[in-house]
Structure 1
Amino acid sequence: MASRSVAVSVVLPAYNEAGTLRKTVDVTLETLASFLPHDSFEVIVAEDGCEDRTPEIAAELAAEDDRVRHVHSDDRLGRGGALERAFQTAAGETLVYFDTDLATDMRHLEELVEAVRSGEYDIATGSRRMQGRKADRPASRDIPSSGFNALVRLCLRSDISDHQCGFKAFDREVLFSVLEDVEDSHWFWDTEVLVRAQRGGYRIKEFPVDWTPRADTKVDLIRDVFGMGSQIGRTWWQLSVQPRITRRTSVVAGTLLTLIALALMTVYLDPATVLAEMAAADPVLVTVAGLIYVLTWPLRGLRYRDILERLGYRERVGFLTGAIFISQTGNLVFPARAGDAVRAYVVKARRGIPYPSGFASLAIERVFDLLTIAALAGTVFVGLALTGATSDLQAALFGSGPDAQQSGRVAVTVAAGVGVAAFVALGAILVSARSDTNYVRTTVTRLSSDSYADYVAEILERFVGDVQTVASDRRAFVTVGTASLLVWTLDVLVAVIVLAAFGVDVSLAALLVVGFFAVSVGNLAKVLPLTPGGIGLYEGAFTVLVVALTPIAAPVALGAAVVDHAIKNIVTVVGGLASMIVLNVSLTTAVEESSGVADSEVEPDTDVSVSEP
């Protein structure tokens, strides 16, 4: 770092700017010298993992003029990451940056710098949207920019009209105070700094600037829609929701979640029917069935532990079982199994397991679940076909009948599709694992050539790679597959015991065969949230298959399906509530306990050096 006294540090974020960098530095030095003493400022080239001659040119400029310094990074840090790293090496009390294309008219630089240097404002930023500016913006830039700024003002309660104008100045102390909470290191960095500064009560000056685009651009699907949109959502959660959730409200929310889950069960389960059928069944056997189902949960925790171990994370079975309980309870409330995201959030926030690995471990678990129950259903179906027992099943499924029969027909159709999709997905995973072609990056780059696409591709590559790690590892495949088989065998045993509790006159062998088929098909059908005829797909499939393959009467079969499903859902929500209380799992609390995880998750290891005379 320079030893001379520096009041103003200007950072130029440079990524592949070999063609313009020298001119930009010359113009910057000349403009600063027009209103500041010669030795009171410095210009820092924040070169960000460039692939052209930008590093060499930046080093030459630093050698030629002692007011110029070069901060080099071997790897791409992202726009925000490069700026932060350069600001940390800066000597000035007033920190400035602007884009190296000099799209903003440099006659505004003095106003920008002096707004902060004078002490009147803590932050100053140019605006291409305020009255009095001249900005010749093509529709390809103006339309997405307008939408983005409108969303930020609406969702994050910002008063700024143009959050991403690359022309800003900061008081050093204020900036580093704000940066303690800023998580993004890419294109949203500017916006997050401004929004958090407003929430911190800092004085911000926004003034109109003349701006001329120096290069054409296109709306980028990944960066603009997924990247920026998700960052708005994250910041909204952290600023607007997180402060309102305490330990007490977390417990209350968990209780409400359970009550809602129980209430929603009545949408597809008639409470009167449930009570009547349970009253008619042998309470001892029903209790035994419930206890056996409880045993499946530590097995799920053990299986999840094995999956995470293959990905390089070792956690306690008790914690993982609780996380599964909570997510499965959420699945009873949220549509399309959206509760699974809760588990990924919990293991990330509480244990620092990155989101890609968290979702990958979930995907692995789901793939093995679907493969196991699809294999069970397929094996039983082949056995039935060989013994000629499928004629009654065909008549039951494709003949006319009541709502339950129609529900069963839809359920079997859905189950068949889901089962085939599971095997196709496994095949694709294994093929891609053995291929040298990077299908993820190829697909992403077809959608976007923006630098943010690299960041998205890295996340997806980590996700796919984690799935492939387990699926292509023979030992892991056998271990996780065996655990899955045990989990679903116990699940079937619960249904068989419930049927026996109704006093059905059917051999144990027949009950096991029908139980494996009915439970497997019913669970495959539940993957899609469909309930034709007002009856749940699980109950409909279970009833039709049991009636078609055994002499059990339809009312008894339906009652057994209702009780079986009720037992499993009740165990799930009770376990979910207990886990929320014991683990104190609040999304907000989890984020607070894992502060700093997000930054370490996305920031690569880099070799950063500083060039100066």
Structure 2
Amino acid sequence: MAPSPLGGEGASRRPLLEIVIPAYNEEGRLPGGLLQLCAKLARMPFPTSVIVVDNASTDRTAEIVSDWPRGPVPVRLVRCATPGKGAAVRAGLLGTTAPFVGFCDADMATDLDAIDHALGLLLSGERVVIGSRAHRDSRVENRHSRIRELGAYGFRALAGALVRGVSDTQCGFKFFDGVLARETAGLLRTPGFAFDVELLARCVEAGGRVREIPVRWRDMPGSRFSPARHTFGIVLELGRIWLRLRTKPGSAARPAWEPPLDPVGYP
């Protein structure tokens, strides 16, 4: 069998693990992040692959992925025209086929050694494993302002009412049983910042317990989030999620996506 033009030898075998990277105008950070991730995955003793979702970028993000050199870890491009990280993650997860899947941010703020821990738990029967900066064993380098920290505290309080027992819904490092991820991604309707809350809530609704693990996490420069500009929209998103989760499937016609309040969500 001829090797894939984007994957080298690993492309001829079905991956055990696929990792999604949502990307919006990431030409500056994506090359370094992809190098780190592919180097990590190439050391795994089984086939892996990466899906980069270009979220209607206006820079060279898609070109970087399309031109990515062949290697032991296939890198594939998926395009998503709906704005918002939630929309991009949904498109990426629905494009997977592997038994285990996950997603992480293009800046690789979470140390990639956590992949070993997450996959070990998935192999032992866990169905949802997420990085938690609030875990007592986590090491977090945080440059956020006091205002943003207060906003994060308020968000966690609201999110906790929807996903009980989860201390950090927003860390961009989440791994799943592949079947569960694809089923719940198909139900996801939140395109923006709060999409993680809906995704985790739907996993719990489907019987998947959320397991939090410690991470080493660094606050990376380049965040597009502004507390002053985005807080009101995030509160509205959480309200929509609350209402959506309490609506029985099929009880009313609903759009494929809620109208985006703001394409926020990228770190």
- TM-score band, normalised by the shorter chain? 0.7 to 0.9
Cα deviation, residue 81, structure 1:
1.2
Cα deviation, residue 123, structure 1:
0.8
Equivalent residues of 1:144, 1:219 under 8 A apart: no
For 1:13, the equivalent position in structure 2 comes to: 22
For 1:43, the equivalent position in structure 2 comes to: 50
Q: Deviations over 1:409-463 (max 9, x none)?
A: xxxxxxxxxxxxxxxxxxxxxxxxxxxxxxxxxxxxxxxxxxxxxxxxxxxxxxx
SS of residue matched to 1:211: strand
The CA distance in 1 between the partners of 2:165 and 2:66, in whole Å, is: 40
For 2:251, the equivalent position in structure 1 comes to: 592
Cα deviation, residue 236, structure 1:
2.2
Paired amino acid for 1:599:
A
* Structure with more strand by fraction: 2
Q: Which has the larger radius of gyration?
A: 1
What is the TM-score of this pair, normalised by structure 2? Answer: 0.83
For 1:123, the equivalent position in structure 2 comes to: 128
The CA distance in 2 between the partners of 1:196 and 1:88, in whole Å, is: 15
Verify: 1:55 aligned to 2:56, yes or no: no
Paired amino acid for 1:123:
V
For 2:35, the equivalent position in structure 1 comes to: 26
The CA distance in 2 between the partners of 1:109 and 1:157, in whole Å, is: 23
Alignment of 1:182-197 (within 5 A): 182-197=188-203
Verify: 1:84 aligned to 2:93, yes or no: no
C-alpha change, 1:30 and 1:104, in structure 2 (3 Å) is same
The CA distance in 1 between the partners of 2:79 and 2:184, in whole Å, is: 24
Cα deviation, residue 89, structure 1:
2.1
For 2:205, the equivalent position in structure 1 comes to: 199
Paired amino acid for 1:184:
T
For 2:74, the equivalent position in structure 1 comes to: 67
Q: Deviations over 1:275-307 (max 9, x none)?
A: xxxxxxxxxxxxxxxxxxxxxxxxxxxxxxxxx
Alignment of 1:537-576 (within 5 A): none
For 2:118, the equivalent position in structure 1 comes to: 112
Alignment of 1:41-440 (within 5 A): 41-61=48-68, 63-65=69-71, 67-73=74-80, 75-116=81-122, 118-137=123-142, 138=144, 139-153=146-160, 155-156=161-162, 158-215=164-221, 217=223, 219-225=226-232, 227-240=233-246, 242=247
Paired amino acid for 1:25:
L
Identity rate of aligned residues, in percent?
27
The CA distance in 1 between the partners of 2:244 and 2:22, in whole Å, is: 28
Cα deviation, residue 188, structure 1:
1.4
Q: Deviations over 1:473-529 (max 9, x none)?
A: xxxxxxxxxxxxxxxxxxxxxxxxxxxxxxxxxxxxxxxxxxxxxxxxxxxxxxxxx
Equivalent residues of 2:22, 2:105 under 8 A apart: yes
SS of residue matched to 2:79: strand
Cα deviation, residue 140, structure 1:
4.3
Cα deviation, residue 94, structure 1:
0.7
Paired positions, count: 247
The CA distance in 1 between the partners of 2:64 and 2:14, in whole Å, is: 25
Cα deviation, residue 52, structure 1:
1.1
Paired amino acid for 1:165:
C
SS of residue matched to 1:232: helix
Cα deviation, residue 235, structure 1:
2.4
SS of residue matched to 1:13: strand
Cα deviation, residue 46, structure 1:
1.1
| CA RMSD of superposed structures (Å) | 2.4
The CA distance in 2 between the partners of 1:180 and 1:59, in whole Å, is: 26
Paired amino acid for 1:7:
L
C-alpha change, 1:45 and 1:239, in structure 2 (3 Å) is closer
Equivalent residues of 2:84, 2:192 under 8 A apart: yes
SS of residue matched to 1:114: helix
What is the TM-score of this pair, normalised by structure 1? Answer: 0.38
Q: Deviations over 1:523-550 (max 9, x none)?
A: xxxxxxxxxxxxxxxxxxxxxxxxxxxx
C-alpha change, 1:136 and 1:142, in structure 2 (3 Å) is farther
C-alpha change, 1:216 and 1:5, in structure 2 (3 Å) is closer
* Structure with more helix by fraction: 1
